[in-house]
Amino acid sequence: MRVESGCDITSPEAVSKLASNLKGSTIDVLINNAGILKRNTLENLDFDSIRQQFEVNALGPLRVT
């Protein structure tokens, strides 16, 4: 088993480096775990916070995969 940790999944450069580190490796199982939760209410929306959550929770794992 190999564990790669500490990759900033919001950074295309970091994900490219991860891909280079894994080049030639066979991946049988990928556990792609990342996530943040920031409490926002409809009365007090923070769009920067929401964008960050989408970047980490949705786009980041897609970028890694």
Q: What pLDDT, in 10s, does the model give residues 2-44? A: 888 889 999 999 999 999 999 999 999 989 888 999 988 899 8
User: Considering the domain boundaries, does residue 1 fall inside one?
Assistant: no
Domain count, the chain: 1
Whether 59 has a pLDDT exceeding 90, the answer reads: yes
User: Considering the domain boundaries, does residue 45 fall inside one?
Assistant: yes
Let me know: does 36 contact 49? Beta carbons within 8 Å. no
User: Considering the domain boundaries, does residue 21 fall inside one?
Assistant: yes
Q: Is 59 left (phi over 0), alpha (psi -120 to 50) or beta?
A: alpha
Whether 1 has a pLDDT exceeding 90, the answer reads: no
User: Considering the domain boundaries, does residue 34 fall inside one?
Assistant: yes
User: Considering the domain boundaries, does residue 7 fall inside one?
Assistant: no
List the domain range (segments joined by +) for residue 48. Answer: 12-64
- Three-state DSSP state, 44: strand
Cα–Cα distance list, 10 to 7, 20, 29 (Å): 9, 17, 22
Cα–Cα distance, 17 to 36 (Å, whole number): 23
Give the pLDDT score at 48. 95
| 42-63 average pLDDT score | 93
User: Considering the domain boundaries, does residue 48 fall inside one?
Assistant: yes
